[in-house]
Amino acid sequence: MEFPDYATLACAMARPHVLQATLNRPEVMNALNTQMGHDLLDLWTRLTEDPGDVRCVVLTGAGERAFCAGGDLKERNGMSNDQWRRQHELFERAYARLIDLPVPVIAAVNGAAYAGGFELALACDFIHAAETARFALTEATLGIMPGCGGTQNLPRAIGERRAREMIMTGRPCTARQAYEWGAVNCLVEPGRLLEEALDTAATIAGNAPLSVRQVKKSIRYGMQMELQTALRFEVEAYNHLIHTADRAEGVLAFNEKRKPRFQGQ
């Protein structure tokens, strides 16, 4: 699959069926500016409309200092209220498209993930982090508040009381704390982070892509329902897979003691 030559993102197929998307503004700690908002929205939209060969995405940041430091405050300095609101609406659309993306996304957090950068990681399916990474939602220290899912996704990840303290104080936590609280799935030595995240992505990409998408949908929407409704939703998602060629291939490969050749059909 080919991608545009984005101004703020570097996109490449790093493994079979695995896309590596890199936030590529290392000179400003990969801060989110308007162009990055447009680039992210375009990428997630393309993958939603036609993922092609992509079955899993690893999202990371360029350089060693930061995954993403949040909004670019130098660009925002001097913005009118209307300009600020329009930019934030662009970010909102990009984050919403990421959250609803059918293809799973792993955040490989290689450094600081602050404010909108932490919200971006939280919008992914799960997070792998370097042991040196740090996380914070610092918006309250700037006279604003998290506005791209932070007040909703963080409490769901680490619990309401810890999230209240983090967001209200703006204080950062270490990667170890984020792991122990449940926001991060695993900690990795900095030099091994990307390779480990790509290995996990390759494992996911090796599974039946339609199954993975239905799993993501069932968890995403089922968690917002009461249990009995969620269980019925899960069964409906399951039933969509019964008549697929991949379901037949998976059973046949098991009985023939070979690796299945899933086609996403």
Catalytic residue positions, numbered: 119, 139
Q: How far apart are CA 83 and CA 222, in angstroms?
A: 37
CA 141, 143, 149 angle in degrees (round to 5)?
85
Q: For tokens 């990009």, what's the residue? A: 94
Q: Residue 153: which of 198, 193, 99 has the closest Cα?
A: 99
Distances (CA, A) of 113 to 25, 169, 176, 188: 14, 16, 14, 16
Strands (E), 159-253: 173-174, 186-188
Torsion angles phi and psi, residue 184, rounded to 5 = -120, 135
d(CA 114, CA 5): 26
Nearest to 25 by CA among 14, 16, 15, 33: 33
- Give yes or no for a contact between 140 and 168, defined as CB atoms under 8 angstroms apart: yes
Residue 9 pairs in a beta bridge with: 23
Rounded CA separation 129/45 (Å): 26
- In angstroms, what is the C-alpha Rg of the chain? 19
- Residue owning tokens 């209240």: 164
* Distance, CA of 202 to CA of 85 (rounded, Å): 39
